[in-house]
Structure 1
């Protein structure tokens, strides 16, 4: 399993060297956008609309838009220095809490944690302590140029870290439009709805669910592939200097041929006239 981050977990005076591994993976099917005419993949270029120039990475800087069209420019070096000030390569557990105190809307991404060299015993200690206390660790970590809150818990005998959103990143439910304030329901309607819920209640078994759209899309792709319904991208024709030079030489030869043929008969007639005069 690929390691995406190395550092340590710290709580109190305990320090555990660990590695992070992505706990989930994106299974979406990626489709390329092609030119309908020649089936060549479309190329997306970074172009300045004012200068009409294609830009390289060294031509670009970061900017924060204060008002429409006005920016505060921040150099990459300034960003790196700010990142170093906050990045200590440590997951600092700041509190221990009950996981049911966190609403699922806060959860973001999941990462498996494995012990790095010399960290196995301390790793086992934290895992056992979390299990026995039935609590999770609330931590802070610097990842991808962002300081994030995270929950550390036990998942199938492995420590799992789940990043969570800050409160100001979760939108207010009160801002959702057209939500009815009061319930205008009869007791019979409510009892019927609860009865239906009870009848449809089953244990959660994630293995019985699958992405039907992805499955059908792959079936469509396979049917087209085996049916030899394939297209080939047209390669761009490039003119080389050798080709251009040969064309220029040939054109020069063709241009001089007629003038050479006309001069030769004139020379012969002049020579014959001299002999007769002698």
Structure 2
């Protein structure tokens, strides 16, 4: 069964346009989730909206939207007033410009979407736009209305289709200086940097998401399976964290030696077993020499 489109409209590049559909490129459906239940009955719990001051349950027709002007003081905004400022969707992805891919700050990247042609009649125009973009080292910047809000979206070729990624607005990003200004600039020796560089080289690899493993998700699934089958759950105590006071140079050197040390430890059991295997042979040779001498 084909997935249901999240959005339908047109992709427009100047006077060229074609019908397209959007599908969310990510999903959290496979993640393990829990519901709140009544421990006595096993029934699922239902949440209710409660007045923060009176404690009374608020019914649906009493609910409204309010913007907090100051602590505990709200201005109520009616549904009709909100609808008046909402952007009317024209169901068109308007490409405004093309920018170099490496100029896009990754912090602005938000949600990814797959963009595909909507119907056979759209394939030709879609392919023209897609293939033209393949020849450029640039990414399209477009505007799209999703859930009554306008978003800026990057668009770039991905296989036979296009990848669209909504972008955050500048006001949604926090200023890095608020977090980095307090970081001091210590004196680091050249030897330390070179050792760290060697460690980086030993861990060089290629980006392969298939190797990503969500160990926490695996543990949750195993926990649920054991509980459902009636098996006991053993709760292990957390290990105490070691002190953070370390000698940086010693830690760098130990990191470099870690791989070779691990190999030595892997072979150590075989070496310890060697004398045990040789002992009978020595005893046999000694007895043979004794008989020959006799």
Bucket of the pairwise TM-score, normalised by the shorter protein: 0.7 to 0.9
Q: CA deviation at 1:173?
A: 0.5
Q: CA deviation at 1:99?
A: 1.4
Q: Which residue of 2 aligns with 1:6?
A: 8
The total of aligned residue pairs comes to 228
Distance 1:49 1:171, change over 3 A: closer
Select between 17-26 and 44-53 the one with higher mean Cα deviation: 44-53
Matched, 1:100 2:102: yes
8 Å contact 2:153–2:164 — kept in the other structure?
A: yes
Query: Which has the bigger relative contact order, CA under 8 A and spacing at least 6?
Result: 1
Q: CA deviation at 1:40?
A: 2.8
Q: CA deviation at 1:48?
A: 2.1
Q: CA deviation at 1:183?
A: 4.3
Matched, 1:81 2:84: yes
Q: CA deviation at 1:70?
A: 2.3
CA distance in 1, matches of 2:98, 2:216: 40
CA distance in 2, matches of 1:219, 1:156: 36
Matches within 5 A, 1:216-235: 216-227=219-230
Matches within 5 A, 1:196-211: 196-211=199-214
Q: Which residue of 1 aligns with 2:218?
A: 215
Q: Which residue of 2 aligns with 1:141?
A: 144
8 Å contact 2:10–2:17 — kept in the other structure?
A: yes
Q: Which residue of 1 aligns with 2:242?
A: none
**Which stretches of structure 1, 4 residues or longer, exceed 6 Å deviation after superposition?**
none
CA distance in 2, matches of 1:74, 1:89: 27
8 Å contact 2:88–2:148 — kept in the other structure?
A: no
8 Å contact 2:113–2:164 — kept in the other structure?
A: yes
Query: What is the TM-score when the length of structure 2 is the normalising length?
Result: 0.72
8 Å contact 2:35–2:44 — kept in the other structure?
A: yes
CA distance in 2, matches of 1:34, 1:203: 44
Select between 139-148 and 172-181 the one with higher mean Cα deviation: 172-181
Q: CA deviation at 1:51?
A: 5.0
Distance 1:89 1:182, change over 3 A: same
Q: Which residue of 2 aligns with 1:187?
A: 190
CA distance in 1, matches of 2:59, 2:20: 37
CA distance in 2, matches of 1:217, 1:180: 37
SS of the residue 2:197 aligns to: helix
CA distance in 2, matches of 1:64, 1:226: 49
Structure 1, unaligned runs of 5 or more:
230-278
Q: CA deviation at 1:177?
A: 5.6
